[in-house]
C-alpha cells in the first residue's frame, strides 16, 4: 500500500488502478454498476462525474453505520447495501473509478460539523469527525478530491448545499449551508492511500471515539428523518 502525505499528490502508477482487498472492483455486480453508470461516455472526466453522482445519491448517508469490521469496508459489500457513511461510500467510488480505468486513491481528513444533530453529537461524543473519507481521482493528469457522502435527499432535508463535482476541482463538503450557517470545517488533512488503511483507521477510531459506537446495537432510526429502518 502506498501512502502520500497531505503536502503531496500521488504519483500515478499501477497501484492506483489495481483491484485490492477493499477496492475489489472485479466483483461482477460492482463492475457492472460502474460500466452501466458511465454508459456512452468515453471521456474520463465525464465518466468520473457520472460515477460520483451515482454513488452520492444511490446510497443513503448513514453515520450510525460506523464499524470496525473489515468486511464492511470492502467495496462489493458496500455495493450490496442501501446506506453507508463517508468512508465506505468513498471506497465504493474509488473502486468504481478503477473499474472504468480511472486511477483512484482514498483520502482522509478530520472535520468539524458545526450543524451536527444533537442525537448524533450525543452518540459520537463530539462534533469532531475523525477520518472523514473521500475518493481522490486522477483526471487529465490532476488529482482531485471527491466526497460523495451526502445524498441529495439528506441535503434537501437539512438545507445543506450538496457537494457538486465537475471532475476538475475538489468536491468536498461545503463550509456554509443553504441558510449561510457555518457547516463543515476541514481541520486536518491526513493524506491518501492506494488502498483503504483499515489498521490505521481502526486504531485511531478506538482511541478517539466512545466504545459504544462499535459495541452493541446501532440506533434503530434513519439518521435523516427519525423513521424506523425497514
CATH number at residue 201: 3.10.620.30
CA distance 153 to 160: 10
What confidence score (pLDDT) does residue 158 get?
82
State the Rg of the chain over Cα. Answer: 17
Establish if 230 belongs to a structural domain: no
For residue 53, being part of any structural domain is answered with yes
Domain assignment present for 47: yes
Element of type H or E holding 113: strand 104-113
Q: What's the whole-number mean pLDDT along residues 54-63?
A: 94
- Which pLDDT does position 127 carry in this prediction? 86
Closest CA to 97 of 205, 41, 25, 5: 25
Domain count, the chain: 1
204 in any annotated domain = yes
Residue 221: pLDDT over 80: no
Question: Measured at the alpha carbon of residue 51, what is the angle toward residues 48 and 52, in degrees to the nearest 5?
Answer: 85
Residue 221 lies in a domain: no
> What domain range is 129 assigned to?
3-213
**Rounded CA separation 105/33 (Å):** 19
Instruction: Specify the pLDDT at position 175.
Output: 65
160 confidence band (pLDDT: 50, 70, 90): confident
What span, in angstroms and rounded, lies between the C-alpha atoms of 13 and 24? 17
Which grid cell is 26? 472485479
CA distance 169 to 107: 15
Q: Please check whether residue 220 lies inside any domain of the structure.
A: no
DSSP assignments along 144-179, one per residue: EEE---S-HHHHHHHTPPPP---SSS-B---SB-TT
Q: Is residue 117 included in any domain, yes or no?
A: yes
Specify if 114 maps to a domain. Answer: yes
Amino acid at each position: 500500500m502506498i501512502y502520500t502525505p497531505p503536502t503531496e499528490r500521488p504519483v500515478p502508477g499501477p497501484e492506483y488502478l489495481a483491484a485490492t482487498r477493499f477496492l475489489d472492483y472485479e466483483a461482477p455486480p460492482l463492475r457492472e454498476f460502474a460500466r452501466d453508470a458511465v454508459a456512452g461516455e468515453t471521456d474520463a472526466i465525464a465518466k468520473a462525474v457520472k460515477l460520483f453522482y451515482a454513488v452520492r445519491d444511490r446510497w443513503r448517508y448513514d453515520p450510525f453505520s460506523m464499524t470496525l469490521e473489515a468486511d464492511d469496508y470492502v467495496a462489493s459489500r458496500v455495493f450490496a447495501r442501501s446506506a453507508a457513511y463517508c468512508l465506505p461510500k468513498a471506497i465504493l467510488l474509488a473502486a468504481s473509478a478503477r473499474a472504468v480505468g480511472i486511477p483512484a486513491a482514498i483520502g482522509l481528513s478530520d472535520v468539524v460539523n458545526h450543524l451536527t444533530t444533537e442525537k448524533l453529537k450525543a452518540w459520537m461524543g463530539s462534533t469532531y469527525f475523525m477520518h472523514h473519507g473521500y475518493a481522490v481521482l486522477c483526471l487529465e493528469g490532476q488529482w482531485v478530491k471527491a466526497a460523495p457522502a451526502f445524498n441529495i435527499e439528506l441535503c434537501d432535508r437539512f438545507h445543506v448545499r450538496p457537494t457538486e463535482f465537475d471532475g476538475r476541482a475538489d468536491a468536498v463538503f461545503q463550509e456554509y449551508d443553504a441558510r449561510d450557517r457555518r457547516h463543515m470545517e476541514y481541520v486536518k488533512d491526513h493524506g491518501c492511500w492506494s488502498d483503504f488503511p483499515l489498521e490505521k483507521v481502526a486504531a485511531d477510531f478506538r482511541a478517539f471515539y466512545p466504545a459504544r459506537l462499535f459495541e452493541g446495537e446501532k440506533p434503530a432510526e434513519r439518521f435523516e428523518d427519525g423513521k424506523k429502518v425497514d
